[in-house]
């Protein structure tokens, strides 16, 4: 980064500031270097937890992909082609090669937040846990209810049942477990529901179907009269 930035300054001077897309790419690289250093320091300060390593891998792979892409864009857009060729040979002789997080890393990161664990608690200590029925609080409540009812759901799936009331009748689960599963389903429905707005609220030019029908009826009558 230092080499490319210095060469850009030497060849462009103050003009680098006016080439905003070029200077913005340098800014992106510097930001990623800062963020990756912070991620690495956090992992170090928290005792190098093996369970958190997948999250660190994801951060590093994602950040390095951005860095390599920005370097490739900088080298492709430097006005001085001789300097660009020299830098490309030194910095990226084979071009941008980092493809980002692997599927394995993505899967492991997903598991970190989909199951209750100490790793998940370490990743989410600063989330707002306001005890209301909105946003993160609603999502967290649904998460706890769903994970708490996971064993009940497994027994129902093993019995090829989807209705908890039917499962209670057949003795697969107890009434209390059925109520617990019902509460989890209601919490999930509450999380994924969306706001509903009337069409005329969303668009000032919305016309009700009856108005549209009247418009075309009047238009037809005018044409018939002419």
Number of Cβ within a 10 Å radius of residue 187 = 19
Which has the closest alpha carbon to 61: 99, 116, 13? 99
3-state SS track over the chain: CHHHHHHHHHHHCCHHHHCHHHHHHHHHHHHHHHHHHHHHHHHHHCCCCHHHHHHHHHHHHHHHHHHHHHHHHHHHHCCCHHHHHHHHHHHCCCCCCCCCCCHHHHHHHHHHHHCCCHHHHHHCCCCCCCCCCCHHHHHHHHHHHHHHCHHHHHHHHHCCCCCHHHHHHCCCCCHHHHHHHHHHHHHHHHHHCCCCCCHHHHCCCCCCHHHHHHHHHHHHHHHHHC
Q: What confidence tens digit (pLDDT) does each residue in 28-83 have?
A: 999 999 999 999 999 999 999 998 999 999 999 999 999 999 999 999 998 888 99
Indicate if the pLDDT at residue 224 is higher than 70: yes
Query: Is the distance from CB of 51 to CB of 117 less than 8 angstroms?
Result: yes
Q: What confidence tens digit (pLDDT) does each residue in 112-150 have?
A: 888 888 888 888 777 766 666 677 788 888 888 999 998
CA distance 77 to 113: 40
The model's pTM is 0.68
Q: What confidence tens digit (pLDDT) does each residue in 188-206 have?
A: 888 887 777 776 676 666 5
Query: Is the distance from CB of 143 to CB of 125 less than 8 angstroms?
Result: no
Q: What confidence tens digit (pLDDT) does each residue in 142-153 have?
A: 888 999 998 999
Chain centroid, CA 4 distance in Å: 31
């Amino acid at each position: 980064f230092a080499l490319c930035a210095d060469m850009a300054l030497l060849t462009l001077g103050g003009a680098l500031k006016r080439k905003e897309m070029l200077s913005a790419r340098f800014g992106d690289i510097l930001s990623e270097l800062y963020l990756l250093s912070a991620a690495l320091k956090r992992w170090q300060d928290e005792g190098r937890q093996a369970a958190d390593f997948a999250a660190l891998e994801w951060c590093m792979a994602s950040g390095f992909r951005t860095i390599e892409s920005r370097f490739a864009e900088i080298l492709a857009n430097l006005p001085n082609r001789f300097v660009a060729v020299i830098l490309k040979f030194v910095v990226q002789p084979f071009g941008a090669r980092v493809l980002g997080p692997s599927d394995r890393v993505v899967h492991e990161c997903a598991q970190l937040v989909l199951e209750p664990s100490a790793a998940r608690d370490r990743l989410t200590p600063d989330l707002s846990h306001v005890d209301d029925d909105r946003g993160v609080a609603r999502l967290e409540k649904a998460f706890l209810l769903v994970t708490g009812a996971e064993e009940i759901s497994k027994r129902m799936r093993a019995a090829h049942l989807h209705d908890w009331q039917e499962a209670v009748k057949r003795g697969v689960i107890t009434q209390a477990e059925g109520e617990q599963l019902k509460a989890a389903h209601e919490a999930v429905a509450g999380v994924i529901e969306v706001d509903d707005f009337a069409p005329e609220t969303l668009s000032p030019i919305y016309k009700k179907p009856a108005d549209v029908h009247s418009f075309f009826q009047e238009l037809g009558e005018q044409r018939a009269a002419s």
